[in-house]
Amino acid sequence: MNDPVAAKGDGARPLAARDMKAIMRVQEACYHPSLIEPAEALLSKMLLFPLGAWGCFSGEELVAYIVCIPAEGGDVVALGRPTVSLPRCPDRLHIHDLAVLPAHRGRYIASDLVRKAHDIASWFGHRRISLVSVQGTERYWSGHGFEPIRAMEYAPGVPATYMLKTLGGP
């Protein structure tokens, strides 16, 4: 079987701890201040599940990233706090963070990274992908087949929607 998460040669590669500074720069350009996570919160997820962190580069510059982590049940992966362990019996892949620098939006970079998340979920046999939609992205995610499950407050005063997609398959 081909490795479904292999880089496509389009400037995408797995992210590593050395990329944290660049990741934080993209994050700060993309999110309302109350949604900015400390580096250690993101890094903890990348270290626990390195296959879930991918970046898109334009030359040497990181222009977009995705961080996914296996999850279990209906619990939402907390924002802003380090994750200390993976669930014993994960039943879904959770897209914890996806961000594209404003100057690079509309070129389907995010869609490529979402496809990567689907590949990772399939590779690990997860039948569902979850996420928390913020900043008015619910329609974006609906376009990718995610359904709203419940409204929630992800950070103080920040409306959000927990969304879920069930993957097809035998």
Ligand X SMILES: CC(C)(COP(=O)(O)OP(=O)(O)OC[C@H]1O[C@@H](n2cnc3c(N)ncnc32)[C@H](O)[C@@H]1OP(=O)(O)O)[C@@H](O)C(=O)NCCC(=O)NCCS
Binding site for ligand X (CB under 6 A): 30-31, 98-100, 105-111, 131, 133-137, 139-140
Q: Do residues 103 and 94 lie in contact, with contact meaning Cβ atoms separated by under 8 Å?
A: no
Length reported for the chain:
170
DSSP labels, 50-85: GGGEEEEEETTEEEEEEEEEEE-TTPPPPSSS----
**CB closer to ligand X, 156 vs 169:** 156
From the CB of 170, what's the least distance to ligand X, in Å? 28
Residues paired with 100 in a beta bridge: 64
How many whole angstroms from its chain centre is CA 93?
9
From the CB of 9, what's the least distance to ligand X, in Å? 19
**CB closer to ligand X, 136 vs 157:** 136
From the CB of 89, what's the least distance to ligand X, in Å? 25
From the CB of 1, what's the least distance to ligand X, in Å? 27
Q: How far apart are CA 105 and CA 89, in angstroms?
A: 35
Q: How far apart are CA 104 and CA 98, in angstroms?
A: 13
**CB closer to ligand X, 46 vs 109:** 109
**CB closer to ligand X, 96 vs 126:** 96
